[in-house]
Structure formats: C-alpha cells, structure tokens
Structure 1
C-alpha cells in the first residue's frame, strides 16, 4: 500500500510540477498601440440569460476596438424568458453596434455547438471569437486578439477567464477551482501539450473551423465546444495554437449561486472527460482524480491502521504545497491573491467534492439550462 501511495503522489507531483514549469514558459503578452487590422465575428449563444445580458452588452459597447471592425452574433437557444427583449432594449441604447439575433437550429444533441455552428455559418469575417452570455468583456479584448494575430501565425487562440468577484465561501471555492484550471491550462500550453481552454474566451479562424469539420464527431455530448475543438486543432496543426497570457484580455464571469447549480455544472464538465482523445488530457484527468480519491481514503486507511500518521500527513502536505505553488502563480497573474486565504479549507473539501462529482458523472445524467441530459 505504501508503494501505491508513494507512486501516485510522485506522479501527481511531477504532473503539477510540469504545469508550474510550463506556466513560466508562456510569455506574458503586453498590448502595444497599433492600427487595428483584424475583423472579428463575435459569437454568443444564450438561453434564459435575461439577468446577465445587460452587463454583457454594456461591456461590448465599451470595447475600445473600432465598431466597424467587428460584428456581434447572438444566437437564441430557445430562451423561455425575456432575453430577446432585454437585448433589443439594450441595443436601442447602443445603435452603433453591428448586431444580429439569430435563432438556433437544433440539429444534434449538443445545442450550444449547434448555436456556434449557426453563428459561424452567418459570420461575415474569418476570425471567430466566442464568449458566453454571462460574461463581461475587458475594454481591450479585441485589441489584444488583433495585436497577437498580427504578430503570430496563429489559427487558434485561447485566453484567460476568471470570476469578477467572490464574496461567500462557495464563490471563493469556485474561484480557486477556476484558478487551478487556468493554471493547468497555461501550464499545458507552456509544455506544448495544450489540453484545456475555455469557450468564454476562445478564438479561431472560420476557415480552420471548416477545415477540421467543426464539431463533427462529438455532437453526441452536450458540452465540450471548446476542448474538443482544441483537440482537433492540436492534432491538425499544433504549431499554430497559442495562449494569450494577459490580464488585458481576461474575460470575467459569475460563479454559480448555489451548491446544486455548481454540482450540475461540474457534472456537465466531468461527463465529457471520457470522450477525450488527447492522451495527455486523459492522463491528467485520471491522475488528478486518483490523487483526490487517495486523499479521501487516507483518513480511513489511517483509522484501520493500514497507513501511519506520518504517511497521512506527508501525502496531504505534499499535495497542498504543490497545488498552492501553481495556484499562487495563477492568482498573481490574475491579480486575485486576496482569495488565497480560503485555500486551506477549500483544498481539504475539494477532494471529496471532486470524487463526488466524478461518481455522479459516471452513473447519472445532469440538468443544465432547464434541460436534462442523460449518459
């Protein structure tokens, strides 16, 4: 048993250590003043987002980028609230925006992928940028994309996402979890094994999307409009996939308001991991789950005297320290170090939450946006 515990811990240590190394290998991007050249089609699917759309459209109206060089395509995914009315109301105050509201056509089991595909079909420009309806965009969002595109040969670009604020412990718990995902994302790009990205801040050429046949091959699972496309891109042309490491391009979103909605979100995320084709992504997910499961089991193993107190303490301490190093780098990059005060309690609870979510994702379906999805 000691050998198994030691092996799992060492492998986990090496994995997170590689992300810490990779994090620093991705250069910080600094926006410089230049003449905008790239035209963008911004695609935003929405379903019952009335409460968030005002903030989103206001952030769009405050973008520094020339209004004549981007369009906004909002795809209504069968909303049952007054989302469309809210959008129209906001657009009357922002008439300079080139905006269209499209109606999603359900062709597959993945409504969000259908919505994005619909948007791309109607997009006027080659560069597609996706975000979510519950997000707010930074002022120099498109300027950063433009400057990066002009100075690289990129075809696919991933960029950071975080929560705008976190007041309750539940929100801080989610923020720290989001930070860990961002740290692993950046680290993966740094070691040239990208396996994570976030569709709330993701860009790619329309021609490239069509070249890899879009979402074909994974439309039988609702989520993964970002990660599965990244997998395809990496397999097709890994040299032109990059991460923009800049606070000026960071998109902010809001945490889930309840444990129930958080659980549904995480089960939805976990449900797609079995469909990963990226071997490194599969290995990472498996090793992280095994390490968390080990931490859940260790107190019981100690209680029945299978492992010693020293083994219990050392294993937990090693995981806490290596996780903290990656989290600290990410928090410093995102300028959210103040939330690290919740790290210790969150890190004690997280293994139990992680194992619980993994269990549910295997044996149960989930509900999201008032729709039920089965395994």
Structure 2
C-alpha cells in the first residue's frame, strides 16, 4: 500500500510540474497603448445583488476606455427586488432572464446575446470589481493577435481571516492550473468572471447547446467547445492590468457548496486532459488523507508521512508561488495550515459531488 500511494504521489508531482512548465510558457502581456478600436458588450448576470452591483458599476465608470465603445447588459435572474440604475456615464440596460434550461447563468448570457450589437462580449460577475485598464488591455491584445476568445485572471479581495486565506490559496491553485493548461496547449478551464469572446464565435459554437442541463459551467464548456473547433483562436491574457477582483464566500458552508458546484462539472468535460488531471489531483489529495490516517493508526511511521507530505507540499508550493506572484503583491498567508486542511476539504468536495446536491443563489440543484 505504501508503494501504491507513493506511485500516485509521483504521478501527481509530475502533473503539477508540467503545469508549472506550462505556466512559464505563457508570457506576461503589457498593453502598448494602442488607440482603442474594439467595441465590447459587458454581460453581468445577477440575482439579488443590490449590495454588490453599485460597486461593480462604479468600477465600470472608472474604466480608461471610450464610453462609446462599450455598453453593459445586466441580466436580472428573478431578483426579489428590482435594481435601479442611477446616473451612469455609460450605456447600460437591465433585461430579465429568459429561463429555458436548468442553468440560470447560461440562460442569462443567452438572453443577453439577443441584445448584443458589438462583435465582442466580455462576462463578469456582480460581486466583482474590474481594474481601470481592463478593457484597454483586452483591446490592445485583440488588435495585436488573431483571437476569438480570451480568458484572463480572477483574484480575491481578502480580509485577515483563515477562511479568506484558505480560499485565496484554493483560487490561486485553480488559476495556476488554468494558465498552466493554456501553456501546454491543453486549455480546459477558465473563470466566467473574466472571459471574453466574439458574438460570431458564440453563434458558431451554438452557444451552450449540449451542456445546458448542467447548472454551472457557462465558462468551461464554452471554452472546451472553442478549443476543440478553433484551437488557434483561443488565448490566455496573462496581464496584471486585466485581473478582476471578486469576493470570497463568508462561511464554510457556502464555500463547500461553491466548490461542489465547480467539481460537479468535471465528469461532463470534453477535455480528456481536464478529466485526467482532475482524477490525478483527486487521488493525490486522497492519498495524503489516507497517509494521515495510516500515521494515526500506526501503519506508517512518522518519517514516511513527513517525506510524503514534503514532496506533495513542495510541488504544490511551486505552482502556488509563481501564480501568487502574478495575481497579487501580497505573500501567501496561512500556507501551512491551509495545505494540511486542503486535501481533506478537496476530497470531501469531490466525493460529495458524486451524489449530493448544492445551493446556489437561493436555489437547490442536484449534481
């Protein structure tokens, strides 16, 4: 059994090392201050976000981008109270979500697409804040490259709490995996809070047809369809000036359900690389959990467990460190405690996602 767990660990370490290599292959992009030319429609699905939307709209008003080159479509997914727009300096409208599937967010984007007049759309979430040069950086990259889809980074605005530090570490690992997979030409995941594509590409791919029974995944399934059909036109925008900031969840239950929602998509991936990597990461974390219990029951000696943990935490730290350097200027906090807890948390999420259900925006969904 010791040999089996160390073989799993070896495969896990090689996989993370590959992601680190892929990460290094994606070069940082710096905008070149080209004259803005791209017209964008920013799509924001929302449900009961009266507290967050004013902050997002305020960040839109501070964008260093001509107001005649972008408009905003807010898609109201049956909020309890109607949101009122007051004194905006840019074009913005609210439309009601037209539900036709099991996925509120995919329906919201499809609804917004009926009102889009620009060639490019960019999606974000209601609880986000966008940087001043967000659209300008996307525009410059689009002008300099032949692309139809661009994924970019998301990070958390954290308070000084262990829950927030744990989430930042988790998101950092996901962002590192995303960038690494793009660098390996095996892109399979992205974040819909910072995701751009042309309307024509969305139509060529028939939108979300084929996966609209799954509640989430408006980002990854569209990305995987695009990679399959038009691989050369899908890029990653690794630019600090394009990083969108979002809020972490405020309790462990919400975090657990959020991660279950994310994990539940994996079995429906088109990407064989994504599925394989998901299994490797799951078994890598599960092997640590098993090793911990082996230590408790005296099956493993303390030196063997420490050696196992050293290799796992060491390779994890490599990916976390380079990703954190890109995402934020602050150091990783609560690293040791988060690293100990994460394998247990991650394994529980995956196992629960196989048969459980989760809550999202006041609704319950079956996995």
Shorter-chain-normalised TM-score: which range?
over 0.9
Report if the CA contact (8 A) 2:77-2:104 is conserved.
yes
- Could you give the per-residue CA deviations for residues 57-102 of structure 1, whole angstroms, max 9, x where no partner exists? 00000001100001101000000135x13xx13xx2x2x3111111
Report if the CA contact (8 A) 2:193-2:244 is conserved.
yes
- The 1-side partners of 2:91 and 2:50 are apart by 20
- The 1-side partners of 2:64 and 2:109 are apart by 24
**Secondary structure, in 3 states, of the residue corresponding to 1:281?**
helix
- The 2-side partners of 1:321 and 1:330 are apart by 15
Match of 2:266 among 270, 273, 283: 273
Q: Which residue of 2 aligns with 1:232?
A: 225
- Could you give the per-residue CA deviations for residues 112-158 of structure 1, whole angstroms, max 9, x where no partner exists? 00000111121011111000001001000000110000011111100
Within a 5 Å distance, the mapping from 1:163-312 to structure 2 comes to 163-312=156-305
The alignment covers a number of residue pairs equal to: 367
Report if the CA contact (8 A) 2:9-2:287 is conserved.
no
- Could you give the per-residue CA deviations for residues 197-255 of structure 1, whole angstroms, max 9, x where no partner exists? 00000000110111011100000011000000111011001111110111100000000
- Could you give the per-residue CA deviations for residues 7-53 of structure 1, whole angstroms, max 9, x where no partner exists? 11111111110111111100110011111111011111000111101
Q: Shift of the alpha carbon at 1:364? A: 1.0
**Secondary structure, in 3 states, of the residue corresponding to 2:176?**
helix
Instruction: Considering fraction of residues, name the structure with more helix.
Output: 1
- After TM superposition, the structure 1 stretch with the greater mean CA deviation from structure 2, 47-56 or 165-174, is 165-174
Q: Shift of the alpha carbon at 1:270? A: 1.2
Aligned Cα root-mean-square deviation (Å):
1.1
Within a 5 Å distance, the mapping from 1:59-78 to structure 2 comes to 59-78=59-78
- After TM superposition, the structure 1 stretch with the greater mean CA deviation from structure 2, 295-304 or 63-72, is 295-304
Q: Shift of the alpha carbon at 1:337? A: 3.5
Q: Shift of the alpha carbon at 1:258? A: 0.8
Unaligned stretches of 5+ residues in structure 1: none
- The 2-side partners of 1:122 and 1:303 are apart by 60
- After TM superposition, the structure 1 stretch with the greater mean CA deviation from structure 2, 212-221 or 270-279, is 270-279
Q: Which residue of 2 aligns with 1:369?
A: 361
Match of 1:350 among 329, 339, 342: 342
Q: Which residue of 2 aligns with 1:158?
A: 151
- The 1-side partners of 2:271 and 2:22 are apart by 18
Report if the CA contact (8 A) 1:49-1:133 is conserved.
yes
1:108 aligns with 2:101: yes
